[in-house]
Amino acid sequence: MYQLEQRTISCPYCGEAIDILIDDEDMEQQYIEDCQICCRPITFIIASSSRGEMTVSAHSENDTY
């Protein structure tokens, strides 16, 4: 069974807080979703920490990571 986790992130463009739903099956994935406020593309990187916890980072299309 899939489990969705809600996270609040800040848009790297407009700075607004937006809520996103992350599927636990997306671990170690990268995807692009438009900001709900300014409609610019945000790159999300879903990873797991050394303790097995899900981490989410959000980047603009021009960020290097």
Per the structure, how many domains does the chain have?
A: 1
Residue 64 located in a structural domain: no
Residue 17 located in a structural domain: yes
Residue 56 near residue 8, CB atoms below 8 Å: no
Instruction: State the average pLDDT over residues 8-12.
Output: 96
Return the SS3 of 10.
Answer: strand
Share of the chain above pLDDT 90, in %: 58
pLDDT tens profile 21-46: 988 787 889 999 999 999 999 999 99
Residue 65 located in a structural domain: no
In this prediction, residue 17 carries a pLDDT of 96
For residue 43, give the amino acid letter. T
User: Under 8 Å CB-to-CB from 10, ≥6 apart: which residues?
Assistant: 16, 17, 18, 58
Supply the range of the domain harboring residue 13: 4-59
Instruction: Identify the helix (H) or strand (E) that includes residue 57.
Output: strand 54-59
Residue 28 located in a structural domain: yes
